Amino acid sequence: MQQDTFISFDNSQQASFISVNEGRTGQGVLEIAQPGQSTGKMINRSLIEKLLKKQLSDDDKQAVIEHADNFNTSLDAVKICDPAIGSGAFPMGLLQEIFTAKQTIHNFMLGDLNSFEPAKVKLNIIQNSIYGVDIERGAVDIARLRFWLSLVVDEPAPQALPNLDYKIVVGNSLISKLGDDVIEIDWDIKPNNHGLFGAEEAKSIQTILKQLSSLQKDFFNPSTRKKDHATQIRNLKIELLINQLNLMIESQGLKQPPRKTATLSQKNFVAQTELYLQTQGWLSQISQLETLKTTPDAALAFFDWQLNFAEVMNKEVAEKVGFDIVIGNPPYINVENLDPTTKKYLFERYKHIQGRADIYVGFIERCTSILKSKGILSFIIPYAFTNQNYAEAMRNYLINNTFISKLVDLTSFMVFDSATVKNIILSVQQIIPNDKRTQIVKLNSISDFETSNFKISYLNQNNFLLLNKCRLETKEIFHLLPLKNRIDEISINFESIYLVAYGARLNNKVNGGKKDTYVSDSPLPSYKPFVEGKDINRYKHKQTGWLNYQPREHYNSMFKELFENIKIMFINVVSDQLRFTIDADGLYNSHTVINCVRADLLVNAEHTTAKSCVQNTDLNLSKMYEHKFVLSLLNSNLINWYFRNFQSEGLHFYPDDAKKLPIIKLDRHAVNQAVFIQIVDQILESKIENKSTEHLEQQLDKMVYKLYNLKFDEVKLIDSKFALSEAEYNAIVI
């Protein structure tokens, strides 16, 4: 699919306004106005869409002409970056949008395009607005070529092409590395009474950074003496890095190794040792840079946002720090596939990278930090970001600290031919408006982009906080929240009465021996009956084999009480329904199975997990719940609906999800568990005989609805195909 399509779509569907404030200049002239804010003269955002699509009425045309200078000034000042630029499709799309706007304004102002110079306009856009980074040299070369070609097609005669070496650069957007060493420059440290280096010590960092920015700007011109300029730029960067590292050593470092004394605590000794080792690392990096100075033909393979893009990102030279737009398709790479050093650094540096995260979470965190106030980030990322555990911290941050302006659900089709994941477009703005209404857009096919055939809804982004783990839900479920809240009020969490835990990890923790070496198809002395997740279904399971259970050998053996008690079991892969079954035969199992053991059955267990459960559970309460009664609730349509709407991430059902399922609060004399158990027994017997249990399960579903005191219209919300009439439903008594 063409990524440019997303650019056009994302720009054209903004449901906001443009404010034209007289007398203001630069990047602040045209601002996206949030509801409730007082602005100057308001121009509806649809005017900008019409401008881009050349669909303006006479009144619209007059409005554009009236404010043409403001439009052009703001278009000239906008700063755009793609932190994983790849082939350059996304910034190229924005280049075309800006170009189209300028071309249209020119035509309105002068009545024709005779004096319009397409190549010059594009050249200015590239020079003033476009920035990009990619870790792959090949990708950077392709992106530069793409921008050069955009100029060539509009040149009336062959012209020298601009140098893009400092506009689209090779670098690591997440980690600033010199060789194998990470260099985190603290740009907030300033010299006390001295300048930078030797005879030039009167010069300030600001002066050097301005000189660097000026040289990089001059380098864009194809007539510049490229080699001389490149050498000057390289040397200035090296000097700046050496200077900043020296300042960090003087203000933060520890040059001498700490000595263990009676007055120095172990904690402080460890901290000082770490600081000393870090200082030695800075000194080593200075040594590398000094060596680099003596080899003028060697490249400085180092990227730092405030160094390479100082005119945008460094407050010493940038009037307003940050990019107006960060756009792109960051890489989808799981941290588990990175080398240990990189993985460790990412977890230390990025506080919102958690668990088995993909590094695109780091890109979101990094790129929200390089936005200026009111700047916009727009990424196309995996749909998993909306609901996976590893992205919870990042979602929570965005909800509470930014404006999630738009979520575009693309899960009905595959966006990229080579990809294996479904996608969303996430757009956030570096602002916290009074009215945080997120636009939710649902597309059913790729053609919806061209036909504008999509469904749009709005919701307050604070509603995301009401969902499990701050899910960024794109389905229309928020009208269901009152019903969810009512169910929650009359329920307790499943974990209030049951321990929920994975089975054993059976591989050998010493030699790495596989699980299969402990499993037999036939019974052997002291072997335990054994079941795997693949053999578990709703109300039914079959024994997989026999297990040679060796707690001292297994990676995580869990404990016998988890297996030998009567228990409810389920697996973490969901198809159309949750799948719970009951085991009274003491089946052992692997971590492909999740076990649910009533807390009062664990009072004699020695395992810390069991002890914690017993200590934190009302055992008298847990004893009130019969296993088969609870099983009927867990397998009900109501609980399945609850999970799919308020917990589901799609494919998986984890222990943490099960722990939060709502189990009706029991009054021993008010709930007749026996009627539920009687039907469950019939289902279990029918399953053994391979008979259909659909009618019995439907009967339980109706009883569960009544048990949770649902009204008929609420049942219809859950099941639109509910077969009973209102009178028939109201007649049910349990």
- SS3 sequence of 539-601: CEECCCEEECCCCCCEEECCCHHHHHCCEEEECCECCCCCCEEEECCCCEEECCCEEEEEHHH
Hey, which residues does 437 pair with through a beta bridge? Answer: 460
* pLDDT exceeds 50 at position 7: no
Average pLDDT over residues 467-472: 88
pLDDT band, residue 8 (cuts 50/70/90): very low
| pTM listed for this prediction | 0.77
What distances in angstroms separate CA 104 from CA 7, 75, 107, 571, 707, one per listed residue?
Answer: 18, 13, 5, 59, 65
Residue scoring higher pLDDT (356 or 133): 133
pLDDT band, residue 14 (cuts 50/70/90): very low
Looking at the chain, the domain(s) classified CATH 3.90.220.10 span: 491-730
Q: What is the pLDDT of residue 668?
A: 55
| Percentage with pLDDT > 70 across the chain | 89
Average pLDDT over residues 132-158: 91
Looking at the chain, the domain(s) classified CATH 3.40.50.150 span: 4-192+306-475
Fold of 491-730: Adenine-n6-DNA-methyltransferase TaqI; Chain A, domain 2 (3.90.220)
Helices (H), 153-265: 205-220, 226-252
Return the minimum-mean-pLDDT range out of 320-334, 351-365, 471-485, 712-726. Answer: 471-485
DSSP state of 222: T
Structure tokens at 261: 């004394």
Q: What is the pLDDT of residue 190?
A: 65
Tell the residue number behind the tokens 């699509």, with chain if given: 53
Rounded distance between C-alpha atoms, residue 158 and residue 151, angstroms: 10
Rounded distance between C-alpha atoms, residue 398 and residue 235, angstroms: 39
* pLDDT exceeds 60 at position 171: yes
Hey, which residues does 499 pair with through a beta bridge? Answer: 597
For the chain, the 3-state helix, strand and coil shares in percent, each to the nearest 5, are 45, 15, 40
What distances in angstroms separate CA 127 from CA 218, 219, 398, one per listed residue?
Answer: 10, 10, 31
Q: What is the pLDDT of residue 52?
A: 58
* pLDDT exceeds 70 at position 160: yes
Question: ∠ CA(412), CA(420), CA(386), 5° rounding?
Answer: 60
Rounded distance between C-alpha atoms, residue 81 and residue 369, angstroms: 13
Q: What is the pLDDT of residue 217?
A: 84
Average pLDDT over residues 292-305: 88
* pLDDT exceeds 80 at position 6: no
Average pLDDT over residues 243-252: 83
Pairing of the two strands 130-134 and 80-82: parallel
| Percentage with pLDDT > 90 across the chain | 58
Q: What is the pLDDT of residue 659?
A: 96
Hey, which residues does 82 pair with through a beta bridge? Answer: 132
Rounded distance between C-alpha atoms, residue 65 and residue 203, angstroms: 46
Rounded distance between C-alpha atoms, residue 511 and residue 521, angstroms: 23
Average pLDDT over residues 633-658: 89
Pairing of the two strands 423-429 and 403-409: antiparallel
What distances in angstroms separate CA 592 from CA 196, 504, 515, 539, one per listed residue?
Answer: 61, 9, 12, 17
Contact, 466 vs 559, CB < 8 A? no
Average pLDDT over residues 372-399: 95
Q: What is the pLDDT of residue 20?
A: 30
* pLDDT exceeds 80 at position 561: yes
Return the minimum-mean-pLDDT range out of 38-47, 284-293, 313-322, 715-724. Answer: 38-47
Torsion from C-alpha of 377, 382, 384, 389, nearest 10 degrees:
-60
Tell the residue number behind the tokens 């960090």, with chain if given: 248
Highest mean pLDDT among 26-35, 388-397, 454-463: 388-397
Hey, which residues does 327 pair with through a beta bridge? Answer: 378
CATH of 4-192+306-475, one of 3.40.50.300, 3.30.590.20, 3.30.710.10, 3.40.50.150: 3.40.50.150
Q: Which residues of 497-530 are buried (b: 16+ CB within 10 A; e: fewer)?
A: bbbbbbbbebbeeeeeeebeebbeeeeeeebbbb
Q: What is the pLDDT of residue 316?
A: 84
Average pLDDT over residues 336-348: 92
Supply the mean pLDDT for the chain.
86
Residue 713 CB partners (closer than 8 Å, separation 6+): none
Contact, 603 vs 618, CB < 8 A? no
Average pLDDT over residues 461-488: 89
Q: How many CB atoms lie within 10 A of CB 157?
A: 5
Highest mean pLDDT among 106-110, 280-284, 374-378, 445-449: 374-378
* pLDDT exceeds 90 at position 694: yes
Tell the residue number behind the tokens 């007539």, with chain if given: 223
Q: Which residues of 331-363 are buried (b: 16+ CB within 10 A; e: fewer)?
A: bbeebeeeeeebbebbeebbebbbeebbbbbbb
Average pLDDT over residues 514-523: 94
C-alpha gyration radius of the chain: 32
* pLDDT exceeds 70 at position 324: yes
Average pLDDT over residues 240-249: 85
Helices (H), 584-672: 608-615, 619-623, 627-634, 637-646, 655-659
Q: What is the pLDDT of residue 55?
A: 61
Which regions of 443-541 does DSSP assign to beta strands (E)? Answer: 455-460, 491-493, 498-502, 505-508, 519-520, 528-531, 536-537, 540-541
Helix (H) / strand (E) containing 155: none
Rounded distance between C-alpha atoms, residue 397 and residue 577, angstroms: 32
Structure tokens at 613: 């459960």
> Per-residue DSSP letters for 265-305?
-HHHHHHHHHHHHHHHHHHHHHHHHHHHHT-TTS------H
Average pLDDT over residues 86-111: 91
* pLDDT exceeds 60 at position 203: no
Contact, 275 vs 150, CB < 8 A? no
Contact, 539 vs 628, CB < 8 A? no
Q: What is the pLDDT of residue 202?
A: 35
Q: What is the pLDDT of residue 54?
A: 60
Hey, which residues does 334 pair with through a beta bridge? Answer: 358
Question: For residue range 588-629, what is the model confidence (pLDDT) as tens digits?
Answer: 999 999 999 999 999 999 999 999 999 999 999 999 999 999
Return the minimum-mean-pLDDT range out of 11-15, 80-84, 395-399. Answer: 11-15
Contact, 21 vs 38, CB < 8 A? no
Pairing of the two strands 540-541 and 662-664: unpaired
